[in-house]
Structure 1
């Protein structure tokens, strides 16, 4: 153990040089003898029982109530779990139960940032009978208790972190930083809901959490619920001091006062239950003052919401020392405090003494396997108000009332329309019809991404701005992708529907958050008790194909690739080629359930290729032959041109027109793919082999012009009978600040590159084309060089570059 920690368990922080009056901003902790003896005794017994169960889950595979002396055979072969945070989580859980019992009108969720605190949460869920409600094998009897303890972190049991299988959970906590933003998202449009959110002091060091403290600035107390954030300061991460653990009270008060909070400390270990009970009642009281003012039409300007700073020792209650090493109150208790208990007699004896200190025989009846009445007395009597059974956490999906998207469709003979502008018009009606169950979360890009039509119906919701507060705005814009994602997760997991539009290059910032959510969604849907959820919906726009003005840093389609590695049953990727297809796709996504949807669209005007009816048919099929751009409607082609993506489709259509004029003897079929997953053989949307061949032929070359990385499509086509005759072009990491068409040229997805590929491939089976092959390829590459030269000489694309292709 590092010398700096010897004899210094959880040392107090050094005093700052801030003046003493700073502490006047904190709320005085007046709590001595706050509880009745009866309530204090019940809470303490609940805590002892839960702490025992949590510790036992980490260590024991038998002798779960210590009915005999511990032996090595009673210890699990693999010790998994994190003890350090458990006593603090149990403390909060117990007092939240008391709050619910004392306030019959209160509904609450418990969001836990320290995800590896699962033993604490599972113990509490078992004690309140929520675990047995959803899992009959975990009922309150000797068998259920044995399974709870011995099955934890073992094959077939609960994992070591909170997950979708855990009742009451809407956040996994596997990747730190998102608990607080998820909590804020959950209370939006839920005026009676109070979410208590514990943020570990290690988690509080993350960038996402640092921004999420601003979440209250987007909560309108007239229409939404509230969050009680509890920062759990126990001083250590896995092997190092935490930033907050080294801050004294004055520093913390200054920080949170600047964020806009009232701060109250819970740190009196000798009277911790009175301290916590008083703090929780204070926090709820402050919330209700703020909400009452807002709901009576006299909102408090920039209200100071409550935050609780809970200081407890790391691993509170476990073995104090192991030889010269300090365990309780140091990083040594972060995970397993006595890792050698199975092989080391001294550690085994220390473990036995630790577990016996809880006097579990006074708390759980050995014959019935049930907690004694005092332990259960603090649990709400109504099951649906218990933290593990509240419907908001698992079964409260509200289907959107969606308008008919045909009302916003464009006529086929209209020259051009923006996918995003059309989508914005659709959103105006979605908002009108779903005033309390639909929101848009955007990182300050709504106007840029051409969704400004939504502001005809709604506004932004930013309570610190005097021009948008208390207006019921459905749009939340905060320049933090992490916070937008967290808001969306909390909002969706409590039954509502959201959309997250963003620049393509920056959605990658929340790549791992999206993956974590997808895993949570997958495991949730594999339980037999979680109800359906609205899909979460990303709209990826301002794409690399039209980010030439911002430069290479903004040219990045990697978020698409991330989707392709998700479980196919829960992921969808769409490339609507025009505004009508965009409307059809977004309408479908908003009504879908249990998916993670990604729509890649253009904000710039593009041709309307398909009528509304044709667009709907095309989107339902996922891929069709575009007869209008093909030779003889695509019959008997020499080559198949496949387009995936808005701008890449335009280039394919342009190439088809060039080929029609320049090489009329070449027979071309144009196929457009709008649902990327139809290409795979392993997806629920996959085309069967017969249908696949009907589109791409049995033996002709296929040229794929794709919006993302070519390897995406190559991987999807694996196993199809096309791999040896397909050429895939896509973004190949070439870009800068240049012109739009130069981006096409640089990445080999221009009409000229497609035309050259077409004649090379078509020449293999068409002697009339073969005899002109060199002439044609040279011509197309020369046209590409001329275009590039013109761009560099004039600073703009050649005239007519974006004229709508006319085939008749």
Structure 2
């Protein structure tokens, strides 16, 4: 379909229209970087028209503009039941994205002060870099489902967008410097892991082989044409080349690439378009090919006469009045190559009955092991609509049996030994409105930290732009430190994410497998959250579920079966966050009740760590009265967590109870040790906990005179 559409639009839309759009994009990018007045050169340019401190990035714009112009007729002709997405790996092409959104009218639709008129054009040019929208590619610019600048995951994210979406084409623009990143390098061949996993859409990678990174030549640019062809062929791709100088040839190359592009998951070579237009094309000759083209090649044209003359000639070479009318609208000959604005997709319906559904799952899971109940939750979710599980070769190890009756993996569960790819595929999937889960070892999850943080930034910008909520980002971290060798012990992902302070983050620490099943059910129903579920695969201890509703709603609950009844301050408060901590502290609580029946005990389970945060800083942060109701005002507290104790201290912030709080959690042993030794080191062995509890609750001994 896509190849036929490209060939048809190549016949119907004149090359001159596409070339004019490319020139208009180049001009508007340059004007945004340099001009503070006279946006159409309606009068002779003067130094007063030029910004005194130009900022932004020119180098990536000309290659991006050629591709956007070539895709324009195709985008305009896409049938209503098909979608074409453009994802930018480089966030620096913000001027291109703004210029394109202005020419199509999308920018003015979202921001009336940037409407296609004289005032809107002046605001576009003079206001860059914009304080309201920014100067990089983000969802603040209409039509951009991906925030550029993450440097690496764009191709894999594009692959995620087309999974289970045969109607979708994602064109991914990748810088040649970005091709040096591990995530991009792995993305080419990793598509083999998607063979036989469903009916998918198509990805057309476009490598912007402009020859330079920010500071010098890219590695990819050192390959000869024969070596480059051999490289892509070996990765399962058929390269199609264009220098972008001849618009007709570029459009033919796009059509040729689409002709041989295969839907994702088809075990045949697919195409990659390689655009070799030089970085910063159009830059004054004395600066071409130098690192200066990366940002603003002319550093201070307002004050340097030679630079001013060069800028004046450069701007005039585009003949802007032949491209835009005095009222700031595209000239008629550009219109056939410009797509019309498309409305943002409808939002997902708000989830209802999350707590009820989750508690029902927990009741059915009661008393059964992780290996039974968690796969059941995932299978049930897959039956409800589009859903995928991504795991770095660890499903069987994590006791997640997602195979069919013949022992073959279910098509909606994909394994590839690359954490970044798992995240990026899940990101592309969720950013296009579908639900996904990443399941991995706790120790290896920190590899994806930067990608998670970038997606949280992206989601925050989406909310600021008023866009509809999307499915949550959900991770299941299992194979925890307590049962692993030293190389497989690292609970630091949650530490770093909590330190970031994102209000949508929830770190769930269920006490048993039934609560893990409930936590996953709950997390996969919610929208626009980032939920990390931390749950061991070995846990066999189960706890009463009478407080599960409260744990899901508020993230914390007092367990009455281990708590002394009645009001008043207890003698000791035990609080668990996680399954092994709950196993250890409930064992301690039962022994205290048996051997010290007069001790007034309160037992609290923290199901969501963010409930401990300072009042008002997170949605579930306990209010002052609720915090005192759980943690008292004078009693000693022993809180055990699956993660680092520092996480708890940091969350509590200014309302930290001080010396009456003892936090126990993972401590790096510094060398290989047994599981029993690790528990003793962390203070979570039975003997150590008993000694701590008795020390905290024994009355002080009087010294003899």
Measured in 2, the distance between the counterparts of 1:169 and 1:445 equals: 33
Change (3 A) 1:731 1:177: same
1:521 is displaced (CA, Å) by: 0.2
Measured in 2, the distance between the counterparts of 1:243 and 1:413 equals: 56
1:404 is displaced (CA, Å) by: 4.1
Identify the residue that residue 375 of structure 1 maps to in structure 2.
Answer: 334
Name the SS of the counterpart of 2:540 in structure 1: strand
Encode CA deviations 1:278-323: one digit per residue, 9 max, x unaligned. Answer: 1111222223xx55xx9xxxx96x21111111101110012111xx
Are 1:669 and 2:602 matched, yes or no? yes
Identify the residue that residue 345 of structure 1 maps to in structure 2.
Answer: 305
Unaligned runs of at least 5 residues, structure 1 = 1-30, 322-326, 462-472, 774-808
Are 1:630 and 2:605 matched, yes or no? no
Measured in 1, the distance between the counterparts of 2:392 and 2:221 equals: 32
Change (3 A) 1:639 1:646: same
Would you identify which runs of 4 or more consecutive aligned residues in structure 1 move more than 6 Å?
398-403
Q: Is the 8 A contact 1:679 1:687 kept in 2?
A: yes
Measured in 2, the distance between the counterparts of 1:633 and 1:745 equals: 34
1:359 is displaced (CA, Å) by: 0.4
Task: Identify the match of residue 242 of structure 2 among 266, 269, 285.
Answer: 266
Encode CA deviations 1:525-583: one digit per residue, 9 max, x unaligned. Answer: 1112x111011101111111121xxx212111110112213344221111011122112
Task: Identify the match of residue 276 of structure 1 among 250, 256, 259.
Answer: 250
1:258 is displaced (CA, Å) by: 1.2
Q: How does 1:75-154 map to 2 (within 5 A)?
A: 75-101=50-76, 104=79, 106-154=82-130
Change (3 A) 1:117 1:197: same
Are 1:449 and 2:398 matched, yes or no? yes
Change (3 A) 1:131 1:221: farther
Identify the residue that residue 585 of structure 2 maps to in structure 1.
Answer: 652
Q: Is the 8 A contact 2:351 2:526 kept in 1?
A: no
Q: How does 1:267-416 map to 2 (within 5 A)?
A: 267=243, 269=245, 271=246, 273-287=247-261, 290=262, 302-321=267-286, 327-366=287-326, 368-381=327-340, 383-384=341-342, 389=343, 391=345, 395=346, 397=348, 404-405=357-358, 408-409=361-362, 414=367
Q: Is the 8 A contact 2:205 2:273 kept in 1?
A: yes
Identify the residue that residue 712 of structure 1 maps to in structure 2.
Answer: 647
Task: Identify the match of residue 536 of structure 1 among 473, 477, 480.
Answer: 473
Q: Is the 8 A contact 2:569 2:633 kept in 1?
A: no
Q: How does 1:399-798 map to 2 (within 5 A)?
A: 404-405=357-358, 408-409=361-362, 414=367, 417-419=368-370, 421-434=372-385, 437-453=386-402, 455=404, 460=409, 473-528=411-466, 530-547=467-484, 551-611=485-545, 613-632=546-565, 636-681=569-614, 682-720=617-655, 722-734=657-669, 736-763=671-698, 767=699, 770-771=700-701
TM-score (norm 1): 0.81
Aligned length: 691
Are 1:60 and 2:11 matched, yes or no? no
Unaligned runs of at least 5 residues, structure 2 = 1-5
Name the SS of the counterpart of 1:161 in structure 2: coil
Measured in 1, the distance between the counterparts of 2:589 and 2:414 equals: 43
Measured in 2, the distance between the counterparts of 1:275 and 1:722 equals: 70
Identify the residue that residue 3 of structure 2 maps to in structure 1.
Answer: none
1:234 is displaced (CA, Å) by: 0.6
Name the SS of the counterpart of 2:475 in structure 1: strand
CA RMSD of aligned residues (A): 2.7
Encode CA deviations 1:436-487: one digit per residue, 9 max, x unaligned. Answer: x1111111111111111564699647xxxxxxxxxxx101111111111111
1:149 is displaced (CA, Å) by: 1.2
Q: Is the 8 A contact 1:421 1:603 kept in 2?
A: no
Bigger radius of gyration among the two: 1
Are 1:160 and 2:135 matched, yes or no? yes
Change (3 A) 1:406 1:632: closer
Q: Is the 8 A contact 1:408 1:425 kept in 2?
A: no
Measured in 2, the distance between the counterparts of 1:196 and 1:738 equals: 50
Measured in 1, the distance between the counterparts of 2:140 and 2:313 equals: 32
